[in-house]
Structures are given as structure tokens and as C-alpha cells.
């Protein structure tokens, strides 16, 4: 099984995870991210904001990878917000 669906800069992984963390503390980020990913999927486009370019082609698999990255950040944010270990952050 090939886990690399598209070659991408690591910055996008960092952004997806970071947005997931932020969305726990600022809910509109959650809805904007989900809407943005859905829009890319429906339009069959991929928007690369940092490179200021748009590529044709998107897939459910690629979108799921981005959603999983976001969800990992969401879990991290949830742990930070509701940690039972009273970690100082």
C-alpha cells in the first residue's frame, strides 16, 4: 500500500496538524477547514496557498489524508485543553 498519495511539502502537514490544534480552541477554524477541504474535493482541485498555484486533480483518498492530519492535531489540542494530568502549557 502506497501511503504517499501526492508529493507535498512538509509545511502542509504542519499546517493541517496546527489547524487541528487551533480548532479545539477556536471552533470556526474547524468549519472553515472542513468546508475548504470539501470545496477542493468537489471542484477536483488542490490549492497550494504558499506556492500561489492551483493543480487539477483531487481524490477522496487525498482528502482523507488531510482530514486525518487535521484530526491528529484536534486530538492533541483536546489533550492540551482537557488534560487530566494538569500539564503546564
The model's pLDDT over 32-53, given as tens digits with 9 standing for 90+, comes to 999 999 999 999 998 887 788 9
Contact 76, 20 (CB under 8 A): yes
**Residue whose C-alpha is closest to residue 62's, from 28, 12, 23, 21:** 12
**Residue whose C-alpha is closest to residue 19's, from 56, 82, 75, 74:** 74
pTM here is 0.82
Q: Which residues of the chain have pLDDT under 70?
A: 1-7, 84-89
In this structure, what C-alpha cell is assigned to residue 6? Answer: 501526492
62: CB partners within 8 A, 6+ apart: 5, 6, 46
Amino acid at each position: 500500500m502506497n501511503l504517499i498519495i501526492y508529493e507535498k511539502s512538509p509545511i502542509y502537514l504542519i499546517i493541517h496538524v496546527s489547524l487541528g490544534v487551533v480548532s479545539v480552541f477556536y471552533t470556526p477554524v474547524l468549519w472553515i477547514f472542513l468546508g475548504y477541504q470539501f470545496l477542493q474535493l468537489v471542484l477536483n482541485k488542490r490549492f497550494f496557498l504558499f506556492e500561489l498555484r492551483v493543480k487539477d486533480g483531487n481524490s477522496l483518498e487525498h482528502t482523507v489524508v488531510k482530514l486525518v492530519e487535521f484530526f491528529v492535531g484536534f486530538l492533541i489540542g483536546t489533550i492540551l485543553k482537557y488534560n487530566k494530568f494538569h500539564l503546564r502549557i
